[in-house]
């Protein structure tokens, strides 16, 4: 899913050459090919991984063709549109440009649009690569954290020792500094017919404050509606989709079960189904029934709970680790699991890979490619048009105006490249995230936007543009019209 930097650089160079040699002829084929491959792959189930043994996942190689072709095709199409706009710029002969520098710049953009387009296509490809990579890795890290919170149930899970089980009221003892909310959870079993099924009793009011409950976890209703029904109707029960299909349980049907009371004996209890669910936080291996904690305790006479879900006010790793140390130092011996320990527990999982280091390396290469593209374009203009610049000076244009003209041309190319590259990069990131969707328990619903990293990329392009223009201006000062004429 990540294109090597060398491949990205070769693609940018190749695309620039294609543009210079064949104009916009590659726009339609590349765009149609990207759309065709993406549609066929989606309809054929190419975005769904094939589970092998353990945690291994196999994805079709052709899944990557749609982002790759879209990367090139969308960039070429964007440049084609920019060319059309450049040709509509009014000519400087109309006298509506104000200063000499701005008039000359507009004429240059209008009459040398093909040369400017070559610079835009090369730089925008690099920018699109960097933007898509940054968004992809940011979304991957966000989804990894969401999956870890699903496994733990919240930011932290506090489990008292078996020798000192605690009642629900112990939650108030966990309300230390740095804790936003606490929710008790009791686990047990319920016999449905002749099958023994796993049951969890939760406090719906506090569970909503500590756990991630996307609507995709529930069938036929939202997460908020399901928990509201469980809170207002204590005898209601949420049934897993697998159990509902096995016993043909429909919403509103009575659910007769046998529970284990405080004395360890079986006693009958009647609930009624209020909804179905596919997944439930804190139970990565699955749960069959979710009941109201107060109703379950009243029916069985049980007061102790099994663990407490804790939401931190600051969910970053350092704050959560500090909070875990504080909770462990209490008077009651407890085991504290965090999202970090959940990720580290199985580093062989595809969803637990750490891509930050690789992302920094790829971003560094992206910055280098963008800066190199700006420098090549600027000094390429200088080599091609040095006689023109010197002639402008001989005709009375000040050196500051010539430098402004060079900076304006390079800045225009850099600005258009940033805009076009950002748009194409967002589109590529959306396609890459589609590949992520089946790999996580909680499907991605949006892109994570690491603003700082994107700002660094934009600042690098702007800084490289300014530096190249300044160096080019310094070089222009040393050029002599007489020497250039002697070369002819």
Average pLDDT over residues 63-91: 75
* DSSP-H helix ranges across 301-355: 317-328, 339-344
The residues near 314 (Cβ < 8 Å, ≥ 6 apart) are 178, 320
CA dist 291 to 160, 170, 201, 227, 238, Å? Answer: 21, 20, 5, 10, 7
Cβ neighbourhood burial of 10 (10 Å; 0-12, 13-18, 19+): exposed
Residue 25 vs residue 374, higher pLDDT: 374
- Render pLDDT for 144-183 as a digit per residue (tens, 0 to 9): 888 889 989 999 999 998 888 899 999 999 999 999 999 9
- Say how far apart CA 47 and CA 56 lie, in whole Å: 15
Helices (H) then strands (E): counts for the chain: 15, 14
Mean pLDDT of the chain: 78
CA angle 264, 267, 268 (to 5 degrees): 155
SS3 276: strand
- Say how far apart CA 463 and CA 222 lie, in whole Å: 48
Closest CA to 270 of 180, 190, 214: 190
- Render pLDDT for 280-300 as a digit per residue (tens, 0 to 9): 999 988 899 999 999 999 999
258 has pLDDT over 70: yes
Instruction: Give one DSSP letter per residue of 167-221, joined into a string.
Output: EGGGGGGG--TTEEEEEEEEEEEEEETTEEEEEEEE-HHHHHHHS---GGGEESS
- Render pLDDT for 35-58 as a digit per residue (tens, 0 to 9): 665 565 555 555 555 444 344 445
Return the domain boundaries, the chain. 5-150+351-487, 156-314
Closest CA to 211 of 324, 315, 61, 335: 315
- Render pLDDT for 213-237 as a digit per residue (tens, 0 to 9): 999 899 999 999 999 999 999 999 9
Residue 72 vs residue 309, higher pLDDT: 309
Do the beta carbons of residue 336 and residue 312 sit within 8 Å?
Answer: no
CA dist 121 to 13, 134, 202, Å? Answer: 9, 20, 56
Closest CA to 153 of 338, 290, 351, 317: 338
Sole residue written with tokens 């084929």: 29
Closest CA to 183 of 211, 164, 149, 217: 211
CB atoms within 10 A of CB 116: 23
CA dist 281 to 150, 181, 197, 287, Å? Answer: 5, 16, 17, 10
Structure-block tokens of residue 136: 């992809």
Beta-bridge mates of residue 167: 304
Beta-bridge mates of residue 335: 159
Do the beta carbons of residue 126 and residue 12 sit within 8 Å?
Answer: yes
Q: Quick one: three-class SS letters along 407-433?
A: HHHHHHHHHHHHHHHHHHHHHHHHHHH
SS3 157: strand
| Torsion 467-468-471-474 (CA) sign | negative
SS3 45: coil
- Render pLDDT for 295-327 as a digit per residue (tens, 0 to 9): 999 999 989 999 999 999 998 888 999 999 999
């Amino acid at each position: 899913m990540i294109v090597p930097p060398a491949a990205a650089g070769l693609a940018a160079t190749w695309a620039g050459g294609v543009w210079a040699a064949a104009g916009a002829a590659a726009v339609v084929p590349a765009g149609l090919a990207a759309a065709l491959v993406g549609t066929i792959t989606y309809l054929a189930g190419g975005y769904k991984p094939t589970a092998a043994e353990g945690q291994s996942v196999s994805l079709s190689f052709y899944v990557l063709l749609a982002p790759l072709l879209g990367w090139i095709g969308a960039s070429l199409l964007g440049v084609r549109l920019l060319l059309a706009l450049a040709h509509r710029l009014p000519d400087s002969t109309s006298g509506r440009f104000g200063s000499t520098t701005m008039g000359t710049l507009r004429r240059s953009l209008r009459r040398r649009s093909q040369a400017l387009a070559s610079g835009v296509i090369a730089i925008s490809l690099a920018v699109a690569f960097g933007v898509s990579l940054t968004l992809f890795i940011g979304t991957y890290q966000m989804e990894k954290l969401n999956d870890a919170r699903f496994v733990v149930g919240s930011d932290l899970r506090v489990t008292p020792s078996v020798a000192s089980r605690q009642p629900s009221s112990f939650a108030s003892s966990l309300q230390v500094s740095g804790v936003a909310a606490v929710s008790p959870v009791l686990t047990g079993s319920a016999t449905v017919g002749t099958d023994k099924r796993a049951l969890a009793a939760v406090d719906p009011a506090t569970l909503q404050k500590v756990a991630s409950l996307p609507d995709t976890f529930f069938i036929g209703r939202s997460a908020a509606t399901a928990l509201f029904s469980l809170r207002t109707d204590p005898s209601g029960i949420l049934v897993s989709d697998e159990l509902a299909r096995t016993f043909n349980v429909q919403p509103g049907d009575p659910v007769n079960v046998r529970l284990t009371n405080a004395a360890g004996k079986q006693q009958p209890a009647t609930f009624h189904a209020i909804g179905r669910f596919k997944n439930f936080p804190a139970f990565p291996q699955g749960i069959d029934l979710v009941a109201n904690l107060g109703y379950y305790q009243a029916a069985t006479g049980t007061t102790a709970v099994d663990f407490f879900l804790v939401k931190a006010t600051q969910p970053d790793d350092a704050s959560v680790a500090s909070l875990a140390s504080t909770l462990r130092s209490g008077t009651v011996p407890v085991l504290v699991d965090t999202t970090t320990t959940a990720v580290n527990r199985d580093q062989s999982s595809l969803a637990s890979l750490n891509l930050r280091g690789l992302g920094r390396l790829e971003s560094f290469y992206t910055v280098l490619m963008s800066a190199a593209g700006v420098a090549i374009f600027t000094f390429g203009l200088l080599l091609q048009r040095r006689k023109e610049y010197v002639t402008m000076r001989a005709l009375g244009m000040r050196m500051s105006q010539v430098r402004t003209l060079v900076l304006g041309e390079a800045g225009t190319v850099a600005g258009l490249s940033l805009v076009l590259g950002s748009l194409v990069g967002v589109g590529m990131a959306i396609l890459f995230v589609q590949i992520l969707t089946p790999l996580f328990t909680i499907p991605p619903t949006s892109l994570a936007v690491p603003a700082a990293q994107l700002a660094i990329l934009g600042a690098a392009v702007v800084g490289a543009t300014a530096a190249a223009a300044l160096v080019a201006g310094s070089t222009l000062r040393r050029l002599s019209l007489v020497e250039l004429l002697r070369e002819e």
